[in-house]
C-alpha cells in the first residue's frame, strides 16, 4: 500500500532509469487508469508521445514526470496497488498491466495496477507558495519530508479544526503523504489515540505527532518502504522491508512493544485502526 516512503522509492527509481528518455509510443490498456484525464486517451497520448522526460518529482503520495519543455507533467497516483515498472520491451505483459509507454532507450515504463485506484493524467505546472507543482496537485499540502514543510503552520491548522487527529492526519490538504499505516505508527509513537480531537491537543503534543510521522516515514524510506503482499514494489519490482519494524499496524492481539498489553483493532473510516489500549487512551 503505497504511502509517502513507497512513492519516494518509486520516484528515485524513475529519476535514475527514466529521466532523459523520450516517450516513443504509449498504449492505454484500461480506461479506468486514465479516468482523471477528462480529455481521453487520444489527447493524453498526443501530449506524451515525442516528449522527453526531464524530471521526476513528488509531493505526498502524488508523483509526476515533467516533460520538455517543462510546462506540463504526467501526474501519477499509485492508489492502492499501483506499480511503476521499468522493464525490457520484450518482457511478458504483467497480469494487471494498464499502461505501457515505450521509451527511446528500448525499455518500457509500465503502470501495473490490480485494483485500478491509481492512474495517469496530464496537468499544467503552476507555482504554489514558491514551488512548481501540477495544477491537479495544487490543493495538496507539503509533506513532512519536504524541506519547506512548516510544522508550526500545520500545528496552527490542526488547532483550528474540530475533528479527530487520525482523520486530520489522513487529510492530504492538511499534511500530505500520511496513509493508514503511518498514521497508526505515528500515533502509537506519540501515545495518542486517533479519536482525540485536534483542538483539544496541546501544541507540543501536535508537534510530537508530526515529528513522529516524519521519523517513522524516514525510517521506512531507509528500508525501502513497507510491503505486505507484493502489491508495493519499486521500479525494479522489489519489495521493501519496513513491515518488520511496525509497532502498531496489523498487530491485533500481539503485545504492545512498549507496555506488553495486547494491541487492539477498531473500525475507523471504513478501515482498520491499530492502537495500544494502555498507552493510547481514548478521549
Partner DNA sequence: TATATCTCCTGCGGGC
Partner DNA sequence: TGCCCGCAGGAGATAT
* Shortest distance, position 21 Cβ to DNA, whole Å: 26
Reported in sequence order, the residue ranges of 52-151 that DSSP labels E, i.e. its strands, are 53-59, 62-67, 72-77, 82-88, 97-103, 107-113, 119-128, 131-134
Q: Greatest CA span in the chain, whole angstroms?
A: 59
Residue 174: name the closest of 157, 188, 186, 162 by CA: 157
Stretch that binds DNA, among 9-17, 142-150, 165-173, 236-244 (CB under 7 A): 165-173
Q: Among 33, 87, 107, 172, which residue interacts with DNA (rule: CB under 7 A)? A: 172
Measured from the CB atom, is 5 or 179 closer to DNA?
179
* Shortest distance, position 281 Cβ to DNA, whole Å: 19
* Shortest distance, position 100 Cβ to DNA, whole Å: 17
Stretch that binds DNA, among 14-22, 101-109, 162-170, 216-224 (CB under 7 A): 162-170
* Shortest distance, position 194 Cβ to DNA, whole Å: 12
What is the full DSSP assignment across 237-280?
Answer: S----GGGG-SSTT-TTSBPTTT-PBPEEEEETTEEEEE-TTTS
127 binds DNA (CB under 7 A): no
Write the CB contacts of 69 (distance below 8 Å, at least 6 apart in sequence): none
Chain positions 27 to 86 lying near DNA, rule: CB under 7 A, are 32, 60-62, 77, 79-80
244 binds DNA (CB under 7 A): no
What cell was used for 129? 507558495
* Shortest distance, position 49 Cβ to DNA, whole Å: 25
Write the CB contacts of 222 (distance below 8 Å, at least 6 apart in sequence): none
Chain positions 178 to 217 lying near DNA, rule: CB under 7 A, are 179-181
121 beta partners: 75
**Residues 54, 66: Cα–Cα separation, whole Å:** 6
Active-site positions read: 2-3, 61, 271
Radius of gyration of the chain (CA): 20
128 binds DNA (CB under 7 A): no
142 binds DNA (CB under 7 A): no
List interacting residues with DNA (CB under 7 A): 1, 3, 32, 60-62, 77, 79-80, 95-96, 114-117, 139, 161-164, 167, 170, 172, 179-181, 249, 265, 267, 269-272
Amino acid at each position: 500500500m503505497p504511502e509517502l516512503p513507497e512513492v519516494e522509492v518509486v520516484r528515485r527509481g524513475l529519476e535514475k532509469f527514466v529521466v532523459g528518455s523520450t516517450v516513443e509510443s504509449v498504449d492505454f490498456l484500461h480506461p479506468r487508469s486514465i479516468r482523471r484525464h477528462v480529455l481521453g486517451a487520444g489527447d493524453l497520448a498526443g501530449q506524451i508521445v515525442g516528449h522527453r522526460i526531464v524530471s521526476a518529482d513528488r509531493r505526498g503520495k502524488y508523483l509526476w514526470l515533467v516533460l520538455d519543455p517543462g510546462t506540463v507533467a504526467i501526474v501519477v497516483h499509485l492508489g492502492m496497488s499501483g506499480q511503476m515498472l521499468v522493464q525490457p520491451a520484450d518482457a511478458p505483459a504483467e497480469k494487471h498491466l494498464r499502461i505501457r509507454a515505450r521509451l527511446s532507450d528500448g525499455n518500457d515504463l509500465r503502470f501495473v495496477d490490480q485494483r485500478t485506484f491509481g492512474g495517469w493524467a496530464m496537468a499544467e505546472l503552476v507555482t504554489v507558495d514558491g514551488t512548481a507543482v501540477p495544477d491537479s496537485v495544487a490543493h495538496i499540502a507539503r509533506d513532512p519530508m519536504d524541506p519547506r514543510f512548516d510544522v508550526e503552520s500545520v500545528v496552527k491548522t490542526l488547532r483550528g479544526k474540530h475533528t479527530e487527529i487520525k482523520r486530520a492526519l489522513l487529510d492530504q490538504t492538511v499534511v500530505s503523504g500520511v496513509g493508514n499505516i503511518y498514521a497508526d505508527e505515528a500515533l502509537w509513537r506519540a501515545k495518542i489515540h486517533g479519536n482525540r480531537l485536534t483542538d483539544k491537543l496541546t501544541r507540543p503534543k501536535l508537534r510530537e505527532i508530526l515529528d513522529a510521522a516524519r521519523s517513522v516515514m524516514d525510517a521506512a524510506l531507509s528500508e525501502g518502504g513497507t510491503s505486505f503482499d507484493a502489491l508495493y514494489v519499486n521500479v525494479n519490482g522489489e519489495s521493501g522491508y519496513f513491515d518488520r519494524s511496525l509497532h502498531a499496524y496489523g498487530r491485533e492481539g500481539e503485545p504492545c512493544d512498549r507496555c506488553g498489553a495486547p494491541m487492539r483493532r477498531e473500525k475507523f473510516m471504513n478501515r482498520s485502526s491499530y492502537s495500544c489500549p494502555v498507552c493510547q487512551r481514548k478521549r
